[in-house]
Amino acid sequence: MNIAYAMGSQAGAGLGSSQWMSLLPLVLLFVVFYFLLIRPQQKRAKQQKAYLESLKKGDRVLTSGGLYGTITGITDNEVTLEIAEKVRVKVAKNAIAHQ
């Protein structure tokens, strides 16, 4: 009876350890995704937000639609761009891609 009890306790202890080992690849996969995908995307979004907040009149910008223009007016949600002499368009502030 003592031998059977000793074998049973070893099997039970091994089961708890194997459950943690089966979760280890899943945890490692999440860590890899976080550092390769999620964190860089958050960093880019933070930089884009700071860039949009720093826009001012006279800046030359490129929209996500491919228009180059100079900012002639700016509000909270939209930007007025002069894309040619006396040709102005209003675009959403979020449509500004970069300088």
- On whether both 41 and 61 belong to a single domain, the answer is no
- Indicate whether 38 pLDDT > 80: yes
- On whether both 5 and 50 belong to a single domain, the answer is yes
- On whether both 32 and 69 belong to a single domain, the answer is no
Domain that holds residue 24: 1-54
- On whether both 21 and 66 belong to a single domain, the answer is no
- On whether both 28 and 9 belong to a single domain, the answer is yes
- Supply the pLDDT for residue 16: 66
- On whether both 29 and 5 belong to a single domain, the answer is yes
Is residue 99 a contact partner of residue 61, using CB atoms and an 8 Å limit?
yes
- Phi, psi (rounded to 5 degrees) for 57: -60, 140
Question: What is the reported pTM?
Answer: 0.67
Average pLDDT over residues 9-29: 74
CA 62 to chain centre: 21
Q: Is 78 left (phi over 0), alpha (psi -120 to 50) or beta?
A: beta
Q: Which one has a higher pLDDT value, 48 or 1?
A: 48
- Supply the pLDDT for residue 21: 86
Taking all residues of the chain, what is their mean pLDDT, rounded to a whole number? 86
Number of domain units in the chain: 2
- Indicate whether 44 pLDDT > 70: yes
- Indicate whether 85 pLDDT > 70: yes
